């Protein structure tokens, strides 16, 4: 034989009728000592399947574009053999890894090569969802109904009654469930374009397998979408059969349990000669200098309003029911502080995303750097409901302001000495504007009237930034004015009362 291994057989007068695919390494340099042979057992289906995949890659001219994802299992070292780009994945995760690779390089050809334990047990979620997203990848799924690498344990595809090291009495569906039929399962999904089950039981089946593998890869080149070829494959070592008997078992035992055939072929549903609609490529990336604009961060710094307080130390607690605009009120305050060129922070007491619970936030507006964003001792409490008043009133600092969303305090609540109180039915006033939900901004207007910490110009700027809808911006501006007016009246009435009392 040795004399036949010529450097240039064509020059020596030979015609090449069959050769090793170029997509196979001529020597397995990653493998260690035995560089000329695979690590697979004699008669193992992986060797055949690898060769078919390499041949199909060659035939379609895809070698340079192909990235093979190796799984965990007997084919964990597929990257020893396939002379393509290679990524080795964690057990079962190859379809997720393939997703990351393919989305990064949509023009590459991404092949996920997985066994039955990898794909149909630990990796069931990943394969189902990659298929359901219609990822434009190709999956070759080797089903030999057993775990090979770990030494013969039950696979999700192990047949009922079949003995394995973890089903020593045979697979019992009451304990172990039924063999998983992957093609049938994936065929319940809308997205896959091609699902076929083939076998490696004899030369005829192997030829059919090559055709399926080629078609699956071709669909990827056409960006048609997700393809999977399930390959029923012999495992002579674990089955304890010689290679010929193992192939016979594929034909006579596996094929009846996992019927061969096409389970989905969108290409067969359209007229001959036409191709499936390609999945869209991502839009071309924008120029780099457009990125800040796309991120909404290209605004220029506005001039701060003229009336900017020299000293500020507002520690505000806003509280009420979910839906009363508690967080939004806090945000407007913080945004106003920022518009004034002050240091600000806004911290929500976040909760599960549902309405009708209680809600509160901490706002700090300061001429100094804000240390703790938590407001334990507020000098402003905006209480939009009674529970909030009861909860936070005792925390308010002496000299601080409390605004309460009702025309009077509950009878049993006494205002601590030194606390300024302004009860005002903000939600009712908002009602009169036709929008109860603007009660929060009525209260903001009242706060502006009661204290002179924040110029109205800053609040208007903040509202314009925080309120996206023109209708709401109009409502909020009216609410702000209403709150200011009502608070001025209430405070003026009160000082007249005080004056009368003194007189």
Q: Which of residues 284-343 bind another protein (CB under 8 A)?
A: 284-286, 288-289, 291-292, 294-302, 331, 334-335, 338, 343
Taking the complex as a whole, how short is the minimal distance between the CB of residue 286 and another protein, in angstroms?
Answer: 6
Taking the complex as a whole, how short is the minimal distance between the CB of residue 73 and another protein, in angstroms?
Answer: 13
Residue 173 burial by CB count (10 A; 0-12/13-18/19+): exposed, middle or buried?
exposed
Among 50-58, 123-131, 225-233, 413-421, the segment contacting another protein (CB under 8 A): 123-131
Phi, psi of 88 (to 5 degrees): -100, 135
- The tokens for 117 are 């334990």
Give 450 or 462: the residue with its C-beta nearer to another protein.
Answer: 462
88 binds another protein (CB under 8 A): yes
Phi, psi of 138 (to 5 degrees): -120, 130
Yes or no: say if 163 and 170 are a contact pair by the CB < 8 Å rule: yes
Q: Which positions from 388 through 407 interact with another protein, judged by CB under 8 A?
A: none
Within 10 angstroms of residue 184's Cβ, the number of other Cβ atoms is 14
10 binds another protein (CB under 8 A): no
Residue 111 burial by CB count (10 A; 0-12/13-18/19+): exposed, middle or buried?
buried
348 binds another protein (CB under 8 A): yes
CA distance 486 to 127: 63
- The tokens for 363 are 């706002």
Among 6, 125, 270, 398, which residue sits at the site for another protein (rule: CB under 8 A)? 125
Give 13 or 285: the residue with its C-beta nearer to another protein.
Answer: 285
99 binds another protein (CB under 8 A): yes
Yes or no: say if 71 and 112 are a contact pair by the CB < 8 Å rule: yes
Give 10 or 288: the residue with its C-beta nearer to another protein.
Answer: 288
20 binds another protein (CB under 8 A): no
345 binds another protein (CB under 8 A): yes
Give 379 or 427: the residue with its C-beta nearer to another protein.
Answer: 379
Among 22, 35, 103, 390, which residue sits at the site for another protein (rule: CB under 8 A)? 103
CA distance 339 to 464: 11
Among 121, 208, 241, 347, which residue sits at the site for another protein (rule: CB under 8 A)? 347
CA distance 164 to 172: 11
Give 184 or 343: the residue with its C-beta nearer to another protein.
Answer: 343
434 binds another protein (CB under 8 A): no
CA distance 140 to 110: 11
Of 123, 153, 180, nearest in space to 235 by CA = 153
3-state SS assignment for residue 229: strand
With CB under 8 A as the rule, give the number of residues binding another protein. Answer: 79
- The tokens for 151 are 């030494």
372 binds another protein (CB under 8 A): yes
Q: Which positions from 150 through 209 interact with another protein, judged by CB under 8 A?
A: none
Among 44, 48, 57, 67, which residue sits at the site for another protein (rule: CB under 8 A)? 67
96 binds another protein (CB under 8 A): yes
Yes or no: say if 197 and 264 are a contact pair by the CB < 8 Å rule: no
440 binds another protein (CB under 8 A): no
Of 407, 405, 414, nearest in space to 387 by CA = 405
Within 10 angstroms of residue 435's Cβ, the number of other Cβ atoms is 16
CA distance 363 to 314: 8
- The tokens for 484 are 């200011």
128 binds another protein (CB under 8 A): yes
Among 64, 172, 242, 474, which residue sits at the site for another protein (rule: CB under 8 A)? 64
Taking the complex as a whole, how short is the minimal distance between the CB of residue 391 and another protein, in angstroms?
Answer: 16
Q: Which positions from 23 through 62 interact with another protein, judged by CB under 8 A?
A: 30, 32
Give 116 or 331: the residue with its C-beta nearer to another protein.
Answer: 331
Taking the complex as a whole, how short is the minimal distance between the CB of residue 395 and another protein, in angstroms?
Answer: 11
Catalogue the E-assigned strands of 116-193.
138-143
Give 162 or 360: the residue with its C-beta nearer to another protein.
Answer: 360
Per-residue CA distances from 361 to 131, 177, 293, 317, 364 (Å): 44, 52, 30, 6, 10
Of 251, 257, 267, nearest in space to 211 by CA = 267
444 binds another protein (CB under 8 A): no
Per-residue binding string, another protein, 263-282, x by CB under 8 A, is -------------------x
Give 179 or 378: the residue with its C-beta nearer to another protein.
Answer: 378
């Amino acid at each position: 034989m040795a004399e036949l291994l010529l450097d240039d057989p064509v020059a020596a007068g030979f015609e090449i009728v069959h050769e090793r695919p170029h997509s196979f390494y001529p020597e397995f340099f990653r493998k260690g000592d035995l560089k000329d042979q695979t690590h697979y057992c004699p008669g193992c289906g992986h060797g055949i399947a690898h060769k078919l995949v390499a041949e199909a890659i060659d035939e379609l001219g895809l070698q340079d574009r192909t990235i093979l994802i190796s799984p965990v299992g007997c084919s964990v070292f597929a990257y020893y053999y396939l002379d393509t780009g290679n990524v080795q994945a964690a057990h079962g995760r190859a379809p997720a890894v393939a997703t990351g690779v393919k989305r990064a390089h949509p023009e590459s050809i991404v092949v996920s090569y997985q066994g039955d334990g990898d794909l149909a047990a630990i990796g069931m979620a990943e394969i189902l969802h990659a298929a359901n997203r219609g990822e434009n990848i190709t999956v070759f799924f080797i089903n030999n109904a057993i775990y090979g690498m770990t030494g013969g344990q039950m696979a999700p595809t192990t047949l009922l009654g079949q003995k394995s090291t973890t089903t020593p009495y045979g697979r019992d569906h009451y304990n172990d469930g039924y063999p998983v039929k992957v093609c049938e399962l994936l065929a319940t999904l809308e997205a896959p374009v091609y699902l076929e089950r083939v076998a490696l039981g004899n030369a005829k089946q192997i030829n059919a397998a090559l055709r399926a593998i080629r078609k699956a890869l071709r669909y990827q080149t056409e960006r048609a979408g997700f393809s999977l070829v399930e390959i029923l494959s012999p495992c002579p070592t674990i089955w304890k059969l010689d290679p010929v008997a193992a192939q016979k078992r594929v034909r006579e035992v596996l094929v009846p349990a996992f019927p061969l055939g096409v389970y989905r072929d969108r290409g067969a549903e359209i007229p001959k000669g036409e191709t499936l609609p390609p999945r869209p490529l991502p839009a071309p990336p924008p120029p780099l200098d457009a990125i800040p604009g796309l991120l909404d961060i290209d605004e220029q710094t506005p001039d701060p309003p003229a009336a900017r307080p020299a000293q500020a130390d507002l520690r505000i607690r806003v509280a009420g029911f979910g839906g009363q605009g508690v967080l939004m009120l806090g945000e407007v305050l913080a945004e106003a502080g920022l518009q004034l060129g002050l240091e600000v922070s806004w911290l929500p007491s976040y909760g599960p995303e549902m309405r009708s619970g209680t809600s509160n936030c901490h706002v700090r507006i300061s001429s100094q750097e804000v240390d703790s964003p938590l407001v334990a001792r507020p000098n402003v409490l905006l209480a939009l409901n009674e529970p909030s008043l009861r909860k936070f009133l005792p925390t308010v600092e002496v000299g601080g302001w409390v605004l309460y969303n009702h025309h009077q305090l509950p009878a049993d609540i006494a205002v601590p000495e030194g606390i300024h109180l302004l009860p005002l039915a903000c939600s009712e006033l908002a009602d009169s504007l036709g929008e109860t939900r603007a009660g929060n901004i009525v209260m903001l207007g009242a706060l502006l009237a009661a204290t002179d910490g924040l110029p109205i110009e800053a609040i208007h700027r903040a509202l314009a930034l925080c309120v996206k809808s023109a209708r709401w911006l109009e409502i909020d501006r009216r609410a702000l004015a209403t709150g200011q007016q009502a608070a001025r009246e209430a405070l003026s009435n009160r000082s007249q009362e005080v004056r009368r009392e003194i007189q």
